Structure 1
Amino acid sequence: MNDYFSNNVKKEVDKIKIPEEKLERVIESAVIKGKKNPVRKVIYCSCAAVILFALFISSAFVSPTMAKIVNKVPYLNQIIKSMNETEERKVRLQDFFAKVSNTLSENEEYNGKVDVSMSGFFASDAPTIYIQVENKNNKQERELEKIVNDIAKSYKIRDVKVDIQERHIERHVMSEEDKKIQEVMETAQDTLTQKGYKTSVIQFDSKTNTLSIEVKSGNTNQHFDQIKKNIEELVSQKQLSYKIEIKKKSESKIRDMNWHPIFTSVMDESHKQFKEVIGFAYSFHPKPLEIILKTSLSNGEVKKAQAIEEYARQVIEIKRKELAVEKIPYKIIIRDKKHKEIYIKSYE
């Protein structure tokens, strides 16, 4: 495989300008846990790869140089298309799981008697629905499997695995105070979202009765004081005596948050293209950033490792450009099945 991101390709791709207001999409993490109580929302900002795809193609018609590069990069369009399909599948998986969880919670026979979760490390793989029940029997297993498979079929998700386990289910009944806390947290999140804090983190510490809110830095102390005042008024309306604490996200957390969708794309797309990719890791310390792909390769399969590295590099640059993430030095490390490094390439 050629190095599709030669200097000329990268220079042209870096010229593409993407309107920031268009780059928003909700994605979900690889493991989802069902709740009998209302689920607290976690929102990640990503972007639609199709936007970059459209802009890239339109640039090709305007720039003769870009048109030549499109011809020299036969796999670029396929990668962008694949990335967009992966994001769509993630949304379907999220909706599928929500439907399973809601269906079981609304069923009188299973409401409060089952605990549901879903896992799937790679988005392209078939997910597994884990259902924990008390005193399971064959009839119940067949019914649960049918419910899950029927819903999976409606969402066009194939080969779903259903793992039913017997376990004592702890029944948690929310107190009135718990309900108030949850309502405050949800309303606080809505308030912050309206003020432009779309990725704020809200936590409650029951030991200190402190509602801690973490937001991205960059605003004045006066602005943070106003946010605190708004949340304190909200808590007071619910007749709760809690301390409100506003924290600014550290630069390292902001960096991790910015790179998170890049990491998930590299992980998912590399595995989709190369089934030898079986794991993923990263580390910002020590510098430079290390992006590690774990594989089932043997030590001598250097050419395949190089192909995986080149493909991962393309995904990184496409996603980084989509999100307008600042360029930093990094290196891609390919490890074999014995966790030994068989190929490394650095980028400034």
Structure 2
Amino acid sequence: MEKELKKVYEHYQKNYFNDQVAVRIKDKVQHKINSEDMSQIEKMHHPRFTKKISYVIASCLVLFGLFIGSAFVSPTMAEVASKIPFLNKIFEQKPIYEVLREKLEDKGYEIVGTGYSVREKTYHVTVKGSEEYYNQVKEEIKIITEDVISSRRYDDFKVEVEQERTIDPNVDPANDPKYREMELALDVLKEVVPKLQQQGYKIHNYGGGYTGPDAKAIRLELDIEDTEKHTEEIEKAILEGIKKQDIKKDVSIKFHPFNVQERDIESKWTSDVLPVIWEGLLSKKEYKTKGVGYSYKKGTINIFITTTINKSDSEAPELANKIEIVIREFLQSDDLKDIVGSTPYKIVVRDKDSKDIN
């Protein structure tokens, strides 16, 4: 089953995974994080097509938020650097995934990609090629990766070098009857939704999925602006297309209304602000951070930091205060004025059992 689903993911990414679908999934992952530990993303790899892709997108969201930069070499630059707040240094410098990829590729290594796991505080490098090649280069790659990350003066991380998982070439979802009806349903969306958008319907992103090839129902989902009131007309047009394809499974359509302005604000925070905070706190032992997350409710960004200590520990208030100060210092800096603006935010520091400390 797992091999089949991997093949399905590869096929759907090639044929159906456009920018609109990417944004839709990104937004769903952002909401999935909500007020939970960011490591919950790792629990989303159930045998379901949409969750498989959500896991990939979630990994990318963390990956693209990670930053690393070049070292300061002159005494003057060192003095200037010492006055730059910790998180601002991360914000201003080159993304760590970019530096790491360039470093490894310059040395000729065949790299598929890099990523970061919050739960284990682990940087991952995936190597392309045979078992023999992987065994030959994995230790070298690990050393280089550790050096690149350590140059940031991070002291709370691990590195794992993994071999690319191959997909069974005998599984072909395009011609597999177990997946064929989902494929037809997605074809309908690809044909109908752009026409509806041209007619003025405020549909942004769309996609679909089901729990497995033997599921009795297909779920189609559409993100629409909260001012769009003609959902019955949209649903009718899609179901008419489904009927023409003679799809036997039950098809349900779910709408996800959203506020355009609020989504824009949330997108800026999740792209430019929160990943910097997460990287900084997770990668330094002094902050004793084991989990991060956020929620955006009633116009307020709530930032959640889960630590490794007990609320009853004597050091808990001091640690919570230290974490809150470093985050506020970053959010109130000139670098963040255009992004944070007047958006209210709240910083919540929790103990290891997710009890609020501050």
TM-score (norm 2): 0.46
Whose relative contact order is higher, 1 or 2, with alpha carbons under 8 Å and at least 6 apart? 2
TM normalised by structure 1 equals 0.47
- The structure where helix makes up a greater share of residues is 2
